[in-house]
Amino acid sequence: MQTVDIIVIGGGSAGMAAALSAKEQGIDSLLLLERDVELGGILQQCIHNGFGLQVFHEELSGPTFAQRLIDEMKAKDIAYRLQTTVLSIGADKTVTYVNPKEGYVTIQARAIILACGCFERSRGAISIPGTRPKGIYTAGTAQRYLNMENVLVGKRVFILGSGDIGLIMARRMTLEGAEVLGVAEIMPYSNGLMRNIVQCLEDFSIPLYLSHTIIDIQGKEQVEKVVIAKVDADRQVIKGTEKAFAVDTVLLSVGLIPDVNLAKGAGIQIDPFTKGAIVNDHLETTVKGIYACGNGLHVHDLVDFVTLEAKQAGRFAAQDLQETSCEQEMIKVVAAEGLQYVLPQRLNIKSREPVVFSFRVRQPHKRCVIECLDQDEVICTQQMRYALPAEMQRLTLRPEQLQKIHANVRIRVRDL
Amino acid sequence: MQDIVIIGAGITGCFLAHDLSKYQLKITVFDKENDVANATTMANSAIIHAGHDPKEGTLKAVLNQRGARMYPQICHDLQVEYQICGAYVVAHDEDEIQILKDLKKRADERGIDARFVSSKELLAQEPNVADEIIQALEIPQTAVVNPWQCATALMEEAVLNGVHLKLGSEVIGIDAFDDYFIVHTDQGEIMTKVIINAAGCGCEKIAAMIEDPSFHITYKKGEYFVLSKLAKDFVHHVIYPVPSKLGKGVLAVPTTHGNILLGPNNTVCESEDVSTTQNGMDTVRERLAYIVKNVPYGEIIRSYSGIRPSGNQGDFYIQPSQTYDRLLHVACIDSPGLASAPAISEYVIQKMVQPLLPLQPKMSYVRRKAPIVMEHLSVEEKNRFIRQNPAYGQIICKCENISYQEIVDAIHGPCGAKTIKAVKKRVRAGMGKCQGGICESAVAKILAKELQIPLADVLYDAPGSELGTEAKRCKR
């Protein structure tokens, strides 16, 4: 069986960044596997701009951002295979994949980096009542049809969920001549980035119905009508608030879920909240030598943060392979008051490097402080003018702060 | 002039077409849907009930028992999925145990294996059954099939043996003459000696085109949830509550491909309305709690509903028309219609077709060649196929591991897939956790290429469900 030092699964921004960073650390025996016909992942269909401010310090479109990484992959001569689907990975770090040229192949890795991305929550998963005609798409599918295949899937559109892809598609379909009649969001606040609410909805006078959801989709061959209604604080439909829209298309932007199919097969533990793997401060999963990063670990808002995180994963995977002994004392990281989750969920307090926590708040806050506590002692704080659930926050703990920790770390948000 | 026109390409029509294709007859099948098995056959519980349930003296009792015994050989010959999973009918109190005893007696009389199991034994087999259950009746021979795969395979073999299949053709009128009929469809007309009305929910409408119907159909809707394969260990047997006047009740059913079905409820509707409803889905959840616990609702990937054409006489209505003896009604095929289907076909042919037409067996009969399913092969076999045709190594649907070439094969089969939904039914592309979110555009592109049509014109299902419009034309 062929042996490779590091196998990276997924050739989107996360996979490429992880591979590049491992290469920088001196790993030459590297192989990246990508199921599509080109590298770049979902960025290739994100033709809008707004990418790259953190990583390249300029504003790029998705394909341009992807191309920068692709060019670097080629310049650094990193091996990759296209049209290659990984079917399974083992806890022993074997990887089985298939492609048209090689057929089914199993190879042995010393370390694996999972950069498998995420998928969109479907209509079925949220059980919207009604018929099942043509015209109900996740926003990303409609985006792929439009931006990659030049097919506009509808002319009169209603969007459920204010996730970023839905907002981007509201603008995109409007620009292509479709009429977007509204966006319904079940929460009392938007789930997308503020800039997208302004640039994609307000600038085009598309109404956003907060605390509303779709209660019925009707149509025989094609969607003909959607009915929305207001919901109360417990997300229960309020009778008498129904509103019908004659549309031919419903787009869903109701959440992204990390693709952990391969991770589960290898016995990696999954965080019930992020729905991605549980990782330590080296982004290593609960199976030694298997790392996870990007949207396949937890869903990010910005590709820049995906890239930065993946670079860390690549570097850690390389370092862990190169260093034979590494002192470890693992503690748990807990998402406390007001937080949905915190990553990493495990932390080595012997680490000599700063640790970046990623987290999301449960509800919007104005003027608040993020606190990192060891039991009741505050180790580190960060004040914020506002914090929104739609925007992932980051907090860095320095090595000297790490040394102060005795028990488990808790991170919480407190209003000022 | 046709010998037989079959109206309806559901499981009943497909069995009839298949079984009749063995004789020297000219046969045409019409269906208003754009694919076979596209209505009731596509939305049911997929169970081959052993036959313990229908009341003695009914056609349902006779045909269900016979059908259940015919399925293993038929599925083996067609190389389609058939899986004996067994079933438990579960009881909560003495009244329900009495019903179990009646079922057991009926099963014994019919030679159907059935035995009582204690709640302890049951829990050892099925840890997720409800705590309140005190006893169960095990029916080990209960099986599941993939109804639309079975129907498609039957129709493929029928087509290979000369049956004309006209999909997307709605029968809009029938004229009767001395010894033939003219059947009018929205696509044209045809003359035939015999008509078999196997139109499912449409049987009464078809009858009403030519006579005063001697049966009445009530549309009964059943709504279901589908769980992803990650929930495949939730139950391994069919779990039935004790039957009531309302039917078999809300069940938990393992499928042949590792998903779990939960449902159906049972509501009467005015029309063939296949909406799912909040009420219906709430009812399913509520009733499920009666038979199972720890339901992994987080793994729901789809909900659907099907309409069962329920007869007013409490039984299948399988009789020649009272006006025209050459018009054969195969109507009111609600549960256990799937389980009975092969026996219904046999019964119709022997009792009703034979007196009307000479049944001369064909000199040669072509067996269907089952499509290649990569998932079922060994690594060596897979690699052999990929060497011959690399497209077997290009995965399109990564939830179900379906290759490019398997989709191409499905499009060019004898009863080929012409729509996104038809591809999904044949090879399962889009039936996984992402529900086609990732692969649908790739499937549509393959359809466009193979059917030589613009991508925007690819159909999801019936005409009117075109993918969209070309966004912009680039000037070069």
- Give pLDDT, residue A387: 92
CB contacts of A215 in chain B (<8 Å) are 278
Check if the beta carbon of residue A219 is closer than 8 Å to that of residue A135: yes
Q: Does B476 touch chain A (CB under 8 A)?
A: no
Residue A81, beta-bridge partner list: A33
Could you tell me the pLDDT band of residue B270, with boundaries at 50, 70 and 90? Answer: confident
For residue B49, indicate whether it is catalytic.
yes
Residue B474 above 80 pLDDT? no
Give first-to-last CA distance, chain B, whole Å.
53
Burial A184-210 (b: 16+ CB within 10 A, else e): bbbbeebbbbeebbebbbeeeebebbe
CB contacts of B259 in chain A (<8 Å) are none
The beta strands (E) that lie in B148-187 are given as 164-166, 171-176, 181-185
Check if the beta carbon of residue B7 is closer than 8 Å to that of residue B30: yes
| ipTM rounded to 2 decimals | 0.95
Inspect the interface and report whether the beta carbons of A120 and B434 lie closer than 8 Å.
yes
Catalytic residue, candidates B18, B49, B52, B237: B49
The C-alpha R_g of chain B, in whole angstroms, comes to 23
Inspect the interface and report whether the beta carbons of A151 and B462 lie closer than 8 Å.
no
Helices (H), A41-180: 62-75, 123-126, 139-149, 164-175
The bridge status of strand A355-361 relative to strand A339-343 is: antiparallel
Residue B473 above 70 pLDDT? no
Cα atoms in the Cβ-side hemisphere of radius 13 Å centred on B353? 27
- Give pLDDT, residue A328: 82
CB atoms within 10 A of CB A398: 12
Q: Does B302 touch chain A (CB under 8 A)?
A: yes
**Side chain identity at residue B187, one-letter code:** Q
Helices (H), B240-364: 278-291, 337-347
Burial B431-464 (b: 16+ CB within 10 A, else e): bbbbbbbbbbbbbbbbbbebbeeebbbbbbbbee
CB atoms within 10 A of CB B360: 10
How many helices and strands in chain B, by DSSP H and E?
Answer: 12, 23
Inspect the interface and report whether the beta carbons of A129 and B401 lie closer than 8 Å.
no
CB contacts of A99 in chain B (<8 Å) are 393-394
Q: What is the pTM of this model?
A: 0.95
Sign, CA torsion B346/B348/B352/B357: negative
Check if the beta carbon of residue B280 is closer than 8 Å to that of residue B297: no
Check if the beta carbon of residue A5 is closer than 8 Å to that of residue A29: yes
Residue B476 above 70 pLDDT? no
Check if the beta carbon of residue A290 is closer than 8 Å to that of residue A111: yes
Counting as low any pLDDT under 50, the low residues of chain A are none
Average pLDDT over residues B163-170: 98
The C-alpha R_g of chain A, in whole angstroms, comes to 22
- Give pLDDT, residue A324: 64
Q: Crossing angle for the helix pair A13-24 and A62-75, nearest 10 degrees?
A: 30
The bridge status of strand B135-139 relative to strand B143-145 is: unpaired
Which of A127, A137, A271 has the most B C-beta neighbours within 10 Å, making it the best mutation to test the interface with B?
A127
- Give pLDDT, residue A383: 94
**Which of A83, A104, A124 has the CB atom closest to B302's CB atom?**
A124
Residue of A nearest to B463 (CA): A221
Check if the beta carbon of residue B99 is closer than 8 Å to that of residue B92: no
Quick one: residue B306, left, alpha or beta (phi over 0 = left, psi -120 to 50 = alpha)?
A: beta
Sign, CA torsion B36/B39/B41/B45: positive
Q: How far is A100 from chain B (nearest CA, A)?
A: 4
Cα-flanking dihedrals φ and ψ of residue A224, to 5°?
-120, -30
- Give pLDDT, residue A234: 94
d(CA A221, CA B172): 19
Query: What is the per-residue DSSP string for B288-309?
Result: HHHHBSS--GGGEEEEEEEEEE
Quick one: residue B384, left, alpha or beta (phi over 0 = left, psi -120 to 50 = alpha)?
A: alpha
- Give pLDDT, residue A146: 97
Inspect the interface and report whether the beta carbons of B275 and A99 lie closer than 8 Å.
no
**Side chain identity at residue A336, one-letter code:** A
d(CA A385, CA A368): 7
- Specify the length of chain A in residues: 416
Average pLDDT over residues B453-473: 93
- Give pLDDT, residue A353: 87
Q: Does B351 touch chain A (CB under 8 A)?
A: no
> What is the H or E stretch that residue B261 is in?
strand B260-263
d(CA B448, CA B443): 9
d(CA B333, CA B424): 25
**Closest to A374 (Cα-Cα) out of A405, A348, A397:** A405
- Tell me the pLDDT tens digit for each residue of B186-197: 999 999 999 999
Check if the beta carbon of residue B280 is closer than 8 Å to that of residue B263: no
Inspect the interface and report whether the beta carbons of B401 and A220 lie closer than 8 Å.
no
Inspect the interface and report whether the beta carbons of B461 and A148 lie closer than 8 Å.
no
Q: Crossing angle for the helix pair A13-24 and A303-322, nearest 10 degrees?
A: 40
Size of interface A-B (CB pairs under 8 A): 137
- Give pLDDT, residue A327: 76
Check if the beta carbon of residue B192 is closer than 8 Å to that of residue B269: no
- Tell me the pLDDT tens digit for each residue of A329-340: 889 999 999 999
Q: Which two tokens stand for residue B59?
A: 């056609």
